[in-house]
Copies of this chain bind each other. A is one copy, B any other.
Amino acid sequence: MKPVTLKDIAETLGISITTVSKALKGYPDVSKKTRALVKELAQTLNYKPNAFAVNLRTEESKTIGLIIPEIVHHFFSSVIKGIVSQAEKKGYLVIILQSNESFELEKKQLDLLMNKRVDGILISLANGTADFKHITDIIAQGKPIVMFDKIAKIVKCSKVIIDDRKAAYTATQHLIDTGCKRIAHFRGPLLPQNSIDRFLGYKKALVDNNMEYDPSLVYIFDDMTFEVGEEFARKILAEHTNVDGIFVNTDLVAIGAITEFNRQGVKIPEEISIVGFSNWFMSSAITPSLTTINQPGFEMGKKAFKQLYKELKAKKNKKSVVPKILELETSLVKRNSTRNSE
């Protein structure tokens, strides 16, 4: 009934606990014979080291924490998958918590993870997070932490991101290249860096092409829902009949807009061209299929863990690490919601 321990093996073999431990861990100072004996008995008794004891002794749990704003979200769940798959390969398990886009909750979850003494932390910031003391405190304690996607530029730690500004620039430029003259932007919330950068990329593309930047063409939404896309599509039709292109912060909203335009008989891309962001799998399914920016979530998760792993290793060897910014490549996926560029 009780799980078998080193002591059990030692006693039945008439040797010391020390030797058993060393035999199992491949220490050189134990004879071939006893090593074989120990390993065999451990096998037949189905011995599994008590993780709690190992944790206490080694001061590490081979467990990392992950804080994410929202689990039910295609992009984030892809990231989770990337993290979990990579962590598993290196023998790490991952504890998931959700901040629900709340700063307060984010702090609380971080605290939980620290109390559990996870070896390291992966985090994508909540939209509302503007104060970073909870993060810098952790860094000060020497606990490895890496941010991804929704990051804070000001905080000194490793990050894995995409170049939102460049990607948004590319998206907007594509609208311009395919003949759009008046381009609106469905922007995300005011705060998170992504949202800001995508907006800036949009704006810069306009300016670089000598097109007027008109603030009234920027629609801000807090909730990234399908319905918001529908609503903004209606607004555009009502308020700006001359708009012939829209760069949307995220695919889901873009698809909502497409649905509404379809319903109203507005021709895409002839009358209005649309570019989304994320390359959600539904964007190739909708009619017309959505031109969008591919945002590699799975890859981001993998890279984020890999970086954290490096820092965990470094910490073990008492080496210091210089924070690293990993920028993943994005690409424009041309589909049928924009015209052909000649």
Partner of A285, one of B63, B81, B98, B226: B226
Find out whether the CB atom of A56 lies under 8 angstroms from the CB atom of B50. yes
Q: Report the contact-size class of chain A (Cβ under 8 Å from the partner).
A: 35 or more
A209 CB, nearest partner CB in chain B, Å: 33
Q: Is A129 among interface residues, defined by CB-CB distance under 8 A?
A: no
Which residues of A, 70-100, contact B by the 8 Å Cβ criterion?
71-74, 77-78, 80-81, 84-85, 88, 93-98
Q: A55 at interface (Cβ–Cβ under 8 A)?
A: yes
Given A115-B51, A259-B287, A287-B263, also A80-B96 (CB < 8 A): yes
User: Are A117 and B80 CB-contacts (below 8 A) given A93-B95, A96-B96, A262-B287?
Assistant: no
Decide if B48 touches A115 in the complex (CB within 8 Å).
yes
Q: Does A235 contact B (CB under 8 A)?
A: no
Report A1-53 residues with CB < 8 Å from chain B CB.
1, 48-53
Residue A243 at the chain B interface, CB threshold 8 Å? no
Contacts of A98 in B (CB 8 A): 81, 84-85
* Copies of the chain in the assembly: 2
Cβ-based interface call for A267 (8 A) = no
CB distance from A301 to the nearest CB of B (A): 10
Question: Are B97 and A95 in contact, CB atoms less than 8 angstroms apart?
Answer: no
Mask: chain A, 241-270; 1 = CB below 8 Å from B; 0 = not: 000000000000001100100110000000
A191 close to B (CB within 8 Å)? no
Whether A117 contacts B262 in the complex (CB less than 8 A), given A72-B74, A285-B255, comes out as no
Chain B residues within 8 Å of A181, by CB: none
Instruction: Determine whether the beta carbon of B226 is less than 8 Å from that of A281.
Output: yes
**Interface flag for A294 (CB, 8 Å):** no
Q: Is the CB of A97 within 8 A of B84?
A: yes
Bitwise interface map of A from 178 to 206 toward B, beta carbon under 8 Å scored 1, else 0: 00000000000000000000000000000
Q: Is A237 an interface residue (CB 8 A)?
A: no
A-B contact pairs, 13 of them (CB 8 A): A50-B56, A52-B52, A52-B56, A52-B61, A55-B55, A71-B77, A72-B78, A88-B97, A94-B95, A94-B96, A255-B285, A262-B287, A263-B287
